[in-house]
Structure 1
Amino acid sequence: MAKDTVFNKKTTLNAKGKPIDLSTPKVMGIINLTPDSFYALSRQPAINDALKQAENMLAEGAAILDLGAYSSRPGAQDVSAQEETDRLLPVITALANRFPDAVLSVDTFRASVAEAAVKAGAHIINDISGGQLDEDMFTTVARLQVPYILMHMKGNPKTMSSLAVYDDVFTEVFDYFVERYARLKKLGVKDVILDPGFGFAKKPEHGYALLNRMDEFTQLGLPILTGVSRKKMIYNLLDIKPDDALNGTTVLNTVALGKGADILRVHDVKPAAEAVKLMNFLRTNR
């Protein structure tokens, strides 16, 4: 059906009254309010440090800031919903006051945390579990009427590494998106972004298989977020550390843009923004 083709892909989001135009891809900057996220330089648990990082990212071209207070890396320490909320809310409030025009995303799989964050000033919910780890998430998103990032993952952060088994990773992720999006649409959720979940219950070869066919996700007519920044699929293949994986990240972000990515979720905003600018210029000067 024509409505499901790339030609009718959704290009605008309504983030609590803040329009996001995806006709040109956008950069989402990662701010981790945790002491144990896998990339050490992304950890900004102190409010002043988070504000400084946000200021730098916005100046470098970030359109969205993604705030996370629960590390999803394998082996990370579990934290309660209360502790996650306590880490998030003061920073959201501070960012909303300092940068009132900024679009804030909250990276959480808990409905109660998501709702508290949106009430405090966040505009987007970024759920690594696609609603699988909290049965109240989809109804909460529908009630709040904010954009929702639907990511593919198996299991949870503690079990996902053991579940990276697929007959056909692309088909399984595609079918997952179809099923989960149908539920969201039925509940009245208007703005959904798809995230293939690179590194979540996926070996590096699964990530590259998904990246190779990422343009096929555009059949669903929804924006696509790519999050490969400094991940294992880069640093393991290159036999380096996450600290040295910026060049590889930029290469894969550029490939993702060529495959239809609408949002790049990154630790390093300036290189990603430059990739967007160059790829956009290339597209418009054929």
Structure 2
Amino acid sequence: MAQAHNAYMPGYAAPQVKHHEWRTAENSAAYLLPTLQTMVKANPNLKLLDVGAGSGTISTSLAKYMPSGTVTATDISDDILERAAEYAKEQGVSNISFQSADIYELPFAANSFDIVHASMVLSHLDAPVQAYREMLRVVKPGGIVANRESDLRMWSYYPESAGIKQFHDVLLATTVEAGGNISAGAHLVTWAMQAGAKREQITASMGTWMYSTPEERGMWGGTMAERIKKGGMRDKALQMGIATEADCENMAWAWVEWQAAEDACHGMMHGEILIRK
């Protein structure tokens, strides 16, 4: 019998994951692109697996860098994969396919892919080392596993407000309660080594996101407000007794005020890793 694992707390409702569709290879996988481009020159027919692809915006933009290769994008949600397929079609990208798959039991033979990529997936998992073992299993010798994960502790934002501070505290507490890891970005090297990778096979780095333009503030602030107005994070906070209905309304309003401020900004730090098999 397969081991039971924790559920994905944020869920897949469009307002809850709107910020996922802001992500591209350029703003979320820049650490991978030089290696990808070098590998494409050596082998134009690369096979790339994107695990936990969600809305597929990163998957589709990666596919553009390897037009003679193929991308297989997976997720546990059939609904979000339908949206990902629509997005790829809108972008005119045809060298990509979509398949339902569990990161713990990938339905692929060993040594199937040149690159296995995951973005903001392992931070939500209760067994990230097991996930790394599976990703390493399906990547070819000489290939790479590429992964980027948030360190949710590392928020830097302006203007400061009690509402956003409380939201951050609630996010951290509910993520832990749901089985996720709030310091995932700092754990990638140790997880990879626990999964069997040698330290000399690993290249680690840190990256950031910054939300500052009106469009970025609207996307990020709007998504965060939706998360605390309804959905898994709100439900978990109320269940844990760490926030009231009134608190949730105040936190949502704090994000509305933040996104309306012309001088507002929000930065986040992420760990990044390339594992050469």
Q: With the length of structure 2 as denominator, give the TM-score of the two structures.
A: 0.34
Q: Which one has the bigger strand percentage?
A: 2
Give the structure with higher Rg (CA). 2
Q: With the length of structure 1 as denominator, give the TM-score of the two structures.
A: 0.33
